[in-house]
Amino acid sequence: MDFDPQNLLGVYLGAAPPPEHGLASCAVRGTSWSETALISEQQVRLLPHGKLSSAERHRFEQELAQQPQWLQQRLAQIDLGDTAVCLIDAARAPSVYAEQALAAADCVLLVLGSDLPSFIAARELPWSRDGRPFAWVLNRADPRRRLEQDLRVLMRASLSEDAPLFVVHRDESVAEAQAADQPLAEYAPHCQATFDLQALGTWLLGLHHATAPAA
pLDDT digit string, tens, across residues 109-148: 988 887 777 777 777 765 556 778 888 888 898 888 887 7
Nearest to 135 by CA among 84, 74, 206: 206
Q: Where do the domains of the chain lie?
A: 1-94, 106-215
pLDDT tier at 83, thresholds 50, 70, 90: confident
Distance CA 71, CA 69 (A): 6
Distance CA 149, CA 152 (A): 5
CA distances from 101 to 40, 92, 105, 151 (A): 23, 10, 6, 27
**What pLDDT digit, counting tens, does each position of 24-66 carry?**
999 999 998 888 988 888 788 899 999 999 999 999 999 999 9
**What pLDDT digit, counting tens, does each position of 162-200 carry?**
678 899 999 999 999 988 888 899 999 999 999 999 999
May I ask the CATH architecture of the domain 106-215? 3-Layer(aba) Sandwich (3.40)
Largest pairwise CA distance in the chain: 52
Entry pTM: 0.85
What pLDDT is stored for residue 62 in this prediction?
96
